Amino acid sequence: MAATEVSENSKFILSIKSIGAIIAVVASFIGMYYSLSMEIEAAKELPKVEIPDPEITRQELDLKLELISTTVMGNAEKLDKIETQVEKIEERVYELK
């Protein structure tokens, strides 16, 4: 592919169809901009909604801590069972050698 040089004498040709498409795209972007800016202004006029900070009661905290400790203990029991199963498997493998 030969490189072409761009100068003052270079010609840039657009068809009527291309010019119409460019105008349509620019017009749609301008319309979207003004539509969006009007929506933003309308949103600024809406009343502000304040979300109160949730307060955790002592009872909720105790229940959550109990759930966590129960889960940890349940996982510890499962790990003990898995550990004994692994030991049995290791013994069987050692016996097979």
Name the token pair of 51: 């979300």
| The pLDDT of residue 1 | 54
As a whole number of angstroms, the longest Cα–Cα distance in the chain is: 92
- 97 vs 92: CA distance, rounded Å: 9
φ, ψ dihedrals at 13, nearest 5°: -110, 130
pLDDT in tens, the chain (97 residues): 556 777 888 787 889 999 999 999 999 999 999 999 999 999 999 888 888 877 888 898 999 999 999 999 999 999 999 999 999 999 888 887 7
Q: Euclidean distance between the first and final Cα of the chain, in Å? A: 71
Upper half-sphere CA count for residue 75 (Cβ side, 13 Å): 6
The predicted model scores a pTM of: 0.41
What was the pLDDT predicted at 2? 59
Cα 6 from Cα 10, distance rounded (Å): 6
Neighbouring CB atoms inside 10 A of 62's CB total 10
